[in-house]
Structure 1
Amino acid sequence: MKLLDDWPRLVRRAWSVRLAILSAGLSAVEFALPFVAPERPSGWFAGAAVVVSLAAAAARIVAQPRSLP
């Protein structure tokens, strides 16, 4: 596996990466919620993580502008 030359910039700027990180965060909240607040209903964060994961996959194949700030 070979990394792209501008991978640090890509990690900071690409929507697919941002959405994948958000999805991971939502999954972590869904995992931790029963330990922190067992009386709270769960499932919402898992559903949101699924939606964000699908958005990340779509963002991965959509052309993103090269001239990002």
Structure 2
Amino acid sequence: MRLSRDWRRVLRRAWSVRLMALAILLTAAEVGVPYLGDLLPARLMSALAGLSAGGAFVARLIAQKEFEDENET
């Protein structure tokens, strides 16, 4: 396994990275859900974290415009 040459650019611009960061935040927020009682539906954070992780998977497979110029060479 090798680190990409433009890993800083990928970290800043790739939707897969953004969605995985969101999944991490939502998973961490699950810890506080029991303290909120009836304010949030049960398992909402789990569902949102799962959806964002799934979105990250799809985003990783789809070509993104910011990186198309690099793939053509």
Q: TM-score with structure 1 length normalisation?
A: 0.82
Structure 2 counterpart of 1:45, one-letter code: M
The size of the alignment, in residue pairs, is 65
State the distance in 2 between where 1:22 and 1:39 align.
23
Question: Which residue does the alignment assign to 1:2?
Answer: 2
Instruction: Quote how far apart the aligned CAs of 1:2 are.
Output: 1.2
- TM-align CA RMSD: 1.6
Structure 2 unmatched ranges of 5 or more: 69-73
Percent identical: 38
Question: Which residue does the alignment assign to 1:18?
Answer: 18
Structure 1 unmatched ranges of 5 or more: none
SS of residue in 1 equivalent to 2:5: coil
